[in-house]
Structure 1
């Protein structure tokens, strides 16, 4: 890497970090709870001792399998990326440089899936044993294949853009690639609900009736335009209860899981939907996309600084660098998780507050949170470091404490 490349990479890194910090300070609700976030409710005031024991036992084994899978995937990515083995694999692949990029991504994604497959199987067996899914092994395998195909396509697009910029603009590539990848992150938020979601679920309109009318009135109350209310056939894959608001503008729709409608009374369903409408009201998907775009810009700048020392004198546009780039991406994703999840927890807390204010029904919210936790066997008191690193939502006990505080109980 030349001095000019390093300088451009440093500038891109600084711009990305400044943009991320500025956007986070401006858009993220760092104090979302009026009066401040209270301490979590005591476990015994919400769950029985048997329920707590069942959740903790399940969560312990779920962490064992998921963290083992993560550790193995990082070791394999590092082995292929930081040794000559990955580059030698690329050099044996046929086709033009961009074909080699796609083939390399496909090969390494498949290797990663094969070495972590035992943990995925053990996790699925755990979910079956605890009644958290009724999905057949055939459906499980089908979802794995679809997930890996989506990963291969999206990763290949990003890397082809990155290497194409490096091959075309030898010195300015960090700025050009950073800008283009930031745009791709934003575009992905619009494309995902239209292209990816239908690969995993089928959707049908919620029939006309009192619940559909209540959801639409709730959307009007939260000043959120909703084009439709759909039901996803999620029960074929999971017993977890959920809903979300998907899309933008004329494509925005409320999506509720079929098992949510089956297992919860209407007032609790409305609490779930109100939370999701709170996200839409504040354009939280857009906020996340903007932060992701700034993060992508910073990531490209950091990548430009690291590839020179780690790339064994290979030019940035060389497809033989793909294993190294994927290893750095995997490590960077894990290291960025605490910051990403800290932002997510604040945004989720604001959506909870919006739901409580929109429904004026804290008891339904509390009952809903309790039922969702029981249905998913969520650990009511996860290890502090685990919640810090991997927790994308506040704990159930924190959410219930907020509802009690805002409800005056």
Structure 2
């Protein structure tokens, strides 16, 4: 629990907010709720929240390449018709096997988050975790908060195991159960460390600055996103893969020369030992500034040289257009807005009562915050995917322009769909909701139009 002086400061803030609401006649519970709602949205943080949301919209308008459009439905249908029938069928079969588990896991995780956030259960778990340490706020924030976060993830563990069996059955996973469990433990470890830092920082700022904690939390959260974007490739990624420089040879030389021709200061290309985990092929770009790097799966190196060049040209497109910076900027604005949203949530007395807490600044409110983040994340998912698809389509265009070889691009996309068991033309609604990349049909149709 927090000190009495802290409660005094927060009470004074509430009194000042309540004075902004004109006196009304007693209208019963509805009047109380309306007054609380009005007070909630008159908090200074609500103004900052609106400003940050406006910044998010502006960043989306200015930074996302909305001038890139997917090919027509007829062109996509023609692209599917040109694919091997067994490739299309295998992708459909794999999607039918994995989608139910993914949807159930999503719903189950959300249900647990809401249970922990909209009932006193989450607050009680946090309180129990803090009892061995005398109910100290830091123990409740870190141990209790992490327990609540993990609870929403561990409930989906059986579904993760089910998915692993499907990946093994379809030949996409090369991992034993021991290796799979080790990777899962590492993933949970990253979650624990990240959540502990964020929770300790959030509730620490609430104690240090009772009136303006949301302002400092917004700034700190935005900075943290930028730092994580720069640090992730050199701290987190090596936990899951070993990275080695691509061996000297014609392929490396061609990739370096292509990057120079593209005006990018790329001095090396790394190879990840993905084959110890999967047979899928991939490549990506991550990091900022000196930590920016292009990574190629070792499984991709089994493809023809021209196709590897085409994949890397796509990744150079991300670097050329600063897509990591775009994603980081949007992410920083989003988490800053989330911090302000938590402050606005402090005025939602009904939700606080349902969560079994008196004040949002109590560490026992972590369950309610988790529930709010889960709901907002679910609603924001389709928007994030739309943005991602636009950025990926621009990178595809860049690859076509840089290599001038649409036929190899088509062959590469066909090979990726075959190896990765991609659903080449998923249902439109599902693709709009969950697809982070253009479909194989869209990509092949784009290449045909370019040709």
Task: Bin the TM-score by the shorter chain.
Answer: over 0.9
> TM-score w.r.t. structure 2 length?
0.86
Helix, strand or coil at the partner of 2:76:
coil
Partner of 1:338: 382
**How many angstroms does 1:152 deviate by?**
1.5
2:408 aligned with 1:373, yes or no?
A: no
* 8 A contact 2:285–2:294 mirrored in 1: yes
2:83 pairs, out of 28, 47, 65, with 47
The 1:133/1:176 distance shift into structure 2, 3 A limit, reads same
- Comparing 199-208 with 240-249, which one deviates more in the overlay? 240-249
Residue 159 of structure 2 is matched in structure 1 by: 119
Match of 2:181 among 132, 137, 141: 141
The answer as to whether partners of 2:230 and 2:289 remain within 8 angstroms in 1 is no
Ranked by relative contact order (alpha carbons within 8 Å, sequence separation 6 or more), the top structure is 1
What is residue 260 of structure 1 aligned with on the other side? 300
Of 400, 408, 424, the match for 1:356 = 400
Match of 2:373 in 1: 329
Corresponding position of 2:229: 189
Q: Deviations over 1:339-370 (max 9, x none)?
A: 11111111001000000000111011111111
Q: Superposition pairs for residues 51-62 of structure 1, below 5 Å? A: 51-62=87-98
Q: CA deviation at 1:227?
A: 3.0
Asked whether the 8 Å contact 2:126–2:145 carries over to 1, the reply is no
**What TM-score comes out, normalization by structure 1 length?**
0.94
Q: Secondary structure at the match of 2:447?
A: helix
CA RMSD of aligned residues (A): 1.7
Offset of residue 248 of structure 1: 2.9
Q: Secondary structure at the match of 2:129?
A: coil
Cα deviation for residue 79 of structure 1 reads 0.9
Q: Number of paired residues?
A: 404
Q: Which residue of 2 aligns with 1:234?
A: 274
Contact 1:109 1:148 in 2 (8 A): no
Give the direction of change, closer, same or farther, for the CA distance of 1:283–1:44 in structure 2 (3 Å limit): closer
Q: Which region of structure 1 is more displaced relative to structure 2, 341-350 or 159-168?
A: 159-168
5+ long unaligned stretches in structure 1: none
Give the distance between the partners of 1:295 and 1:253, measured in 2 at CA: 25
Residue 169 of structure 1: aligned partner: 209
How far apart are the structure 2 equivalents of 1:280 and 1:314?
A: 48
- Within 2, Cα distance between the matches of 1:345 and 1:114? 30
SS in structure 2 of the partner of residue 230 of structure 1? strand
Contact 1:8 1:174 (C-alpha < 8 Å) held by counterparts: no
Distance 2:80 2:241 in 1: 37
Whole-Å separation in 2 of the counterparts to 1:339 and 1:135: 33
Q: Secondary structure at the match of 1:333?
A: helix
- Give the alignment partner of residue 63 of structure 2, picking from 9, 23, 27: 27
* Corresponding residue number in structure 2 for 1:290: 329
- Measured in 2, the distance between the counterparts of 1:322 and 1:188 equals 22
Per-residue deviation at 1:245? 2.3
**Contact persistence 1:362–1:404 (CA under 8 A):** yes
